[in-house]
């Protein structure tokens, strides 16, 4: 039986009680959509044999193709394999090979014999195919009946589930799929521009409709524009997406900093690396967040030399050389101070570029003239500084994250501008 419709059943009391957020289902959906398979329904049940059997059984009736996650562990809560084996009218047997592997691995690692309860992890339904797990000890299971209806059982631990999806599940699914159409999406990323401003610019665009669906997705990182095409053959889908992206890029120009999962910090680092520029940071209200964003990127040491967390005004003065006169006259959250901080960052880290942030992240500390959310940012390149005042919304965490993101964007736009 070929299929492009699948159901997913995620299993676990943890999920049902809300202790764990189900990220596996979203991961599976994205992986499957890329080969033209639609998840048409998803169910979550607890560690209960009859609930598992009924949810999987109903899903099989509808689509003949089901993927489960969870319930493959060694404890008595783990009931997935036996519940689904019973649904298929199959018995269970010990997989000797896997059991020997588990025993050896356990003894080597823990210097003691494998607990008896772990034996269960090596039990598999009769006639099932074992799906290798390179990231854990529970194998996945593929069970298929004579009519071609199948259930793939994957572990619930996200790292194991993701590895197994790529290693072994996707090839099996692809071989059973007759998809001649796919769902594809492409995201263009912006930051520091309001959704309504973007929408106005997009809607005033000539040349008729985009021919793909467009969603505006605001987050702390900025507003993403997600283009999606559905139910088109693969080459047409790619063409439609790239045409639409091209038109948006013409319209929005340099406001788009990247695509899909692009990280603004990585993009800025790449530009600096290409141009042999180095960065130093000076952070007040963000307290290290901008440095952490930049150093999160492997290889950032070519560009980011270091910086100063100048939370207290003394540190601003003593380490960054901000003058006490400037602080007294304008306050710590001011254009004058942020520019002196950026210059100080360049000087102490001995870099071309100094980035600085000072603001009121809240929830306390706001004043009528400098309410919570008031943030000054600056980018100083070889002594030529740009600074900007933002009134940011959101809670302390959001304000700090936006401050770091918008400072990176200020630098990106400076570096993209034609030399004056």
Nearest to a copy of itself of 42, 251 (CB atom): 42
**Residue 72 Cβ, how far from a copy of itself at the closest point, in Å?**
17
E strands of 113-252, at which residues? 123-125, 129-131, 140-144, 150-154, 182-190, 213-219, 222-232
**Residue 287 Cβ, how far from a copy of itself at the closest point, in Å?**
3
Cα(328)–Cα(380) distance, rounded to whole angstroms? 23
Nearest to a copy of itself of 18, 208 (CB atom): 18
Nearest to a copy of itself of 168, 286 (CB atom): 286
Question: For tokens 């339904």, what's the residue?
Answer: 125
The angle that helices 313-320 and 335-349 make with each other, rounded to 10 degrees, is 50
Helix (H) / strand (E) element for 65: namely: strand 65-69
Buried-state track 306-323, b at ≥16 Cβ within 10 A, e below 16? bbbbbbebeebbebbebe
**Residue 6 Cβ, how far from a copy of itself at the closest point, in Å?**
11
Nearest to a copy of itself of 350, 417 (CB atom): 350
Nearest to a copy of itself of 20, 181 (CB atom): 20
Give residues with Cβ within 8 angstroms of 206, minimum separation 6: none
User: C-alpha dihedral over 220, 226, 231, 233, to 10 degrees?
Assistant: -120
Nearest to a copy of itself of 21, 419 (CB atom): 21
**Residue 48 Cβ, how far from a copy of itself at the closest point, in Å?**
8
**Residue 255 Cβ, how far from a copy of itself at the closest point, in Å?**
21
Nearest to a copy of itself of 123, 309 (CB atom): 309
CB atoms within 10 A of CB 203: 9
**Residue 273 Cβ, how far from a copy of itself at the closest point, in Å?**
15
Rg (CA), the chain: 27
**Residue 411 Cβ, how far from a copy of itself at the closest point, in Å?**
16
Q: Cβ(198)–Cβ(217) under 8 Å?
A: no
């Amino acid at each position: 039986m070929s299929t492009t419709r699948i159901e997913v059943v995620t299993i676990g009391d943890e999920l049902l009680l809300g202790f764990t957020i189900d990220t596996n289902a979203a991961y599976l959906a994205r992986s499957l959509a890329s080969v033209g398979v639609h998840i048409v329904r998803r169910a979550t049940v607890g560690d209960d044999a009859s609930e598992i059997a009924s949810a999987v059984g109903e899903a099989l009736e509808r689509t003949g193709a089901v993927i489960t996650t969870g319930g493959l562990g060694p404890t008595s809560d783990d009931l997935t394999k036996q519940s689904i084996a019973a649904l298929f009218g199959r018995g269970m047997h010990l997989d000797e090979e896997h059991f020997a592997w588990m025993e050896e691995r356990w003894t080597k690692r823990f210097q003691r014999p494998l607990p008896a309860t772990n034996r269960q992890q090596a039990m598999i339904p009769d006639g099932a195919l074992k799906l290798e797990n390179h990231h854990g000890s529970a194998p996945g299971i593929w069970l298929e009946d004579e009519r071609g209806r199948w259930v793939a059982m994957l572990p619930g631990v996200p790292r194991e589930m993701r590895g197994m999806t790529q290693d072994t599940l996707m090839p099996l699914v692809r071989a059973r799929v007759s998809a001649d159409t796919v769902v594809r999406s492409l995201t263009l990323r912006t930051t520091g521009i309001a959704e309504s401003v973007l929408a106005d610019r997009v809607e005033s665009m000539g040349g008729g409709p985009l021919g793909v669906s467009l969603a505006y997705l605001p987050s702390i990182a900025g507003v993403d524009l997600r283009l999606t095409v559905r139910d088109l053959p693969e080459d047409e889908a790619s063409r439609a997406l790239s045409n639409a992206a091209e038109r948006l890029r013409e319209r929005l120009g340099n406001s788009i900093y990247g695509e899909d999962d692009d990280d603004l910090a990585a993009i800025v680092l790449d530009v600096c690396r290409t141009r042999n520029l180095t960065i130093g940071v000076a952070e007040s209200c963000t307290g290290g967040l901008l440095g952490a964003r930049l150093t999160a990127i492997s290889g950032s040491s070519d560009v980011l030399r270091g910086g100063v967390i100048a939370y207290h005004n003394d540190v601003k003065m003593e380490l960054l050389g901000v003058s006490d006169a400037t602080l007294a006259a304008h306050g710590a959250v001011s254009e004058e101070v942020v520019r002196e901080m950026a210059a100080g960052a360049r000087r102490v880290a001995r870099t071309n570029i100094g980035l600085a942030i000072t603001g009121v992240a809240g929830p306390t500390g706001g004043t009528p003239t400098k309410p919570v959310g008031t943030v000054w940012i600056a980018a100083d390149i070889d002594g030529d500084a740009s600074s900007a005042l933002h009134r940011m919304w959101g809670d302390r965490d959001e304000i700090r994250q936006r401050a770091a993101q918008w400072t990176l964007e200020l630098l990106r736009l400076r570096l993209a501008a034609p030399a004056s």
